Amino acid sequence: MPRLGFEQRNIIIGRLQAGESQNSLANLYNVSQSTISRLWNRFRQSGSTSDRQRQGRPRVTSAAQDHFIRLRHLRNRFSTATSTASAVPGNRRISDQTVRNRLREAGIRARRPVRAVVLTQRHRQNQLQWCQAHSIWPQQRLRNVWFSDESRFLLHRADGRPRVYRRRNERFAPNCVQQVDRFGGGSVMMWAAISYTGRTALVHVQGTLTAQSYRDQILRPHVLPIMRRNGAIYQQDNARPHTARLTNAFLQANNVTVLPWPSKSPDINPIEHLWDELESCVRQRQPAPQTLQQLAHALQTEWKNIPLQVIRKLIASMRRCCQAVIAARGGHTRY
C-alpha cells in the first residue's frame, strides 16, 4: 500500500473532523481502515500527524567494542576494517561496514597516505640541526643562495585516480579502456637552480648523470658564471655525482661556496615545489606532448614562463619551512 504523504494526512484529518467515515477515506486513498484509525488516534493524542520517533536498528556493538575498534586503529593506522571486524571480541560477528561506521562516528576516516622518503633517527637529527642553525639566517643571506636539483619527468603519468562511467559488460569496451605505456613511455631528466634574483636555464641531462657529466654539462657552463657574484652560495643535495671527489675538487678549485645539506631532506629545498608547478603547467598543455623531444621542449618553455614572483615566494617560505621541521623534531612536514 502507498505511504500517506504529509499533505494527505492533513486532508484526511480535516475530512474526519468534518464527519466523513474512516472506511470511505481508506477506499479513497487506497489504504487500510486501520491506517486511518491510527492516524486519527495519533492526532487526537498529540495534535500532530507526523510520525513518532523511531528507535531505529539496535546497535550490534557495545561501548567496550566501540572503544576496542577506535583504539586498534589509532595504534595501527594501516589496519583494515576487515581485519578489525574479525578481531573484535564478542560472540556476535560484526561486518567491516560496522567498523567503518564506528570509526566515522569517532571522526576517523580512511584517507590516502602521504608518501615520503624513509627517515632514520640520524636523518631526523641532521635535518633538525640544520634547520635550527639556518632558521635564524637573515633574509638577505638566503637570497644569495642558489638552490639546485635534478628531477625526472615521465612522458605519460598515471596518478591512479581516473574513473570511467560505463554500463555492465562494458569493462573492455574501447572507449572505457585507459591505455598506458609501460614505465610511463620514457622520461627526461632536467636540472636547474633558482634564487631570489632569478633562475638558470633548464638543462636537459643526456644519459646517466655522473660526476664528470655533472661537472661538464652543469657546473662549468651554468653554475660557475653565477658563482662569480659576491656572496653567492651554491646548494646541492647529497647525490653521488654531487659529492664525488671529482666534483668536490672542481668546486674547491673554483672557490665555489657550497651550502652543507642534510641527507634526505626534500622538505627544505624550495625548488622541489617548483618542479611540481612546472609539471602541472606541462600537463595542462593542449595538445599534450607525445614524444620525449616534445616533453623536453614543453618543460623548457614552461620553465621560462614561471613568474619570478613564484620563485621569490618559495625562497621567502624557507624560514617557515625550517620552523615546521623544528616543530616536527626533524620529521616529515606538509612542505
Q: Is the dihedral of CA 31, 35, 37, 41 positive or negative?
A: negative
Rounded mean pLDDT, 303-311: 94
- Contact assessment for residue 222 and residue 190, using Cβ atoms and an 8 Å cutoff: no
Q: Is the pLDDT of residue 130 over 70?
A: yes
Whether the model clears a pTM of 0.75, i.e. scores above it, the answer is no
Highest CATH level, class, for 121-327: alpha beta
Rounded mean pLDDT, 267-281: 90
Q: Indicate the residue type of 330.
A: G
Q: Pairing mode, if any, of strands 187-195 and 198-199?
A: antiparallel
b/e map 105-125, b = 16+ CB within 10 Å: eeeeeeeeeeeeeebeeebbe
Q: Is the pLDDT of residue 158 over 70?
A: no
Res. 268 pLDDT band, cuts 50 70 90? confident
Q: Is the pLDDT of residue 203 over 70?
A: yes
pLDDT at residue number 167: 82
pLDDT at residue number 104: 92
Helical ranges in the chain per DSSP H:
6-17, 22-29, 33-46, 63-75, 81-87, 96-105, 121-134, 139-142, 211-213, 224-227, 240-243, 245-253, 271-283, 292-305, 308-316, 318-327
Q: Is the pLDDT of residue 1 over 60?
A: no
Share of the chain above pLDDT 70, in %: 95
- Contact assessment for residue 49 and residue 43, using Cβ atoms and an 8 Å cutoff: yes
Computed over every residue of the chain, the mean pLDDT equals 88
* Region of poorest pLDDT, from 34-38, 198-202, 214-218, 302-306: 34-38
Distance CA 191, CA 201 (A): 8
Rounded mean pLDDT, 191-220: 93
Which cell numbers hold the place of 192? Answer: 636547474
pLDDT at residue number 254: 93
How confident is the model over 310-328, as pLDDT tens digits?
A: 999 999 988 888 999 999 8
pLDDT at residue number 183: 57
